[in-house]
Amino acid sequence: MKNVAVIGAGTMGNGIAHTFAQKGFKVQLIDISQQSLDKGLATITKNLDRMIAKEKISEADKETTLSNISTYTNIKEGVEYAGLVVEAATENIDLKLKIFRELSEACSEDTILATNTSSISITQIAAVTKKPDMVIGMHFMNPVPIMKLVEIIRGYNTSDEVTNTIMEMSKTLGKVPVEVNDYPGFVANRILMPMINESIETLYNGVAGVSEIDTVMKLGMAHPMGPLQLADFIGLDVCLSILNVMYDGFKNPKYAPCPLLVNMVMAGKLGVKSGEGFYDYSESRKAENVAKQFV
């Protein structure tokens, strides 16, 4: 279990790889392109440098962490020695099912397969594998190296042994694991996304403007970031995807995405990642300043 493969070198994937590597695990970071891997490693390096600047780690800690990470563009090679695989690919059910079918063929029977999905059914993902009892959800929060919470999601067939192993492993990472059951949105997003969606509805209905809504929630409810700014940070496409999963799963209209959110995603206004969402991030450092509020 000291060898961990992480699939996906994007925001969540490189954060998960960083966290495991910093705690002494050997990490095999896997993505389809070397360019994505290089970008992921650059992000990890930048975040480690930031920790050095804050005197949280030493230069030697940084070098040790980076030396614990190796990169692969081939899943089969990357997972060969892994006791745990954490999938952190795009929140797309078809892509995740494809990856888990491949993992089921490539990994040993003793390898635990985890997904960082924020809303998709663990049971559905596990059903395409040979050993659904070895599949579990590990929903890390962003930014992974900083945020303490990990939702540990049991699928219908996830074994007690696997659940206990992942709960204890999460603690060794310095995280606080919370065990939840496998229903759309789990706990975090089942509560968060309707709040974000209602904030968008409030804007859509002309009750108040963007900054006014966020100011009310920050000053009135002591939220560190307003819901519309948080939606920009998460990615409006991700918010829409999670709401659709919950709407499809529960068939309850309270989870139906606001038309404004749907239109913004169709128009490519995805938040920080696209340079524009509810706020304008076109100036060179605005997006970075939003992210820093979480660090």
Asked if residue 68 belongs to a known ligand binding site, the reply is no
**Pick the catalytic residue: 47, 151, 199, 274?**
151
Q: 199 labelled as ligand-binding? A: no
DSSP code for 17: H
Residues in the chain: 295
Asked whether residue 96 is marked as a ligand-binding residue, the answer is: yes
212 is in an annotated binding site: no
244 annotated ligand-binding residue: no
Whether residue 91 is annotated as binding a ligand: the answer is yes
Is 9 annotated to bind ligand? yes
31 is in an annotated binding site: yes
Catalytic option among 104, 116, 118, 241: 118
* Distance, CA of 51 to CA of 43 (rounded, Å): 12
CA distance 61 to 23: 10
Alpha helices, H only, 56-187: 59-67, 75-78, 93-106, 122-126, 160-172
Can 151 be counted among the known catalytic residues?
Answer: yes
Please indicate if the annotation marks 211 as binding a ligand. Answer: no
Active site residue 161: no
- Asked if residue 237 belongs to a known ligand binding site, the reply is no
Buried/exposed 221-255: b ≥16 CB within 10 Å, e otherwise: eeeebbbbbbbbbbbbbbbbbbbbbbbebeeeeeb
* Residue 150 Rama label (left phi>0; alpha psi -120 to 50; beta): beta
Q: Out of 189, 197, 241, 274, which one is annotated catalytic?
A: 189
- Annotated ligand binding at 161? The verdict is no
Give the other-Cβ count within 10 Å of 12's Cβ: 24
Active-site annotation holder among 139, 170, 241, 274: 139
Answer whether 113's CB lies under 8 Å from 87's CB: yes
Asked about 189 being catalytic, the answer comes back as: yes
Instruction: Give the residue numbers marked as catalytic.
Output: 118, 139, 151, 189
**Residues at the annotated binding site?**
8-13, 31, 91, 96, 118, 142, 273
* Residues of the binding site for NAD(+): 8-13, 31, 91, 96, 118, 142, 273
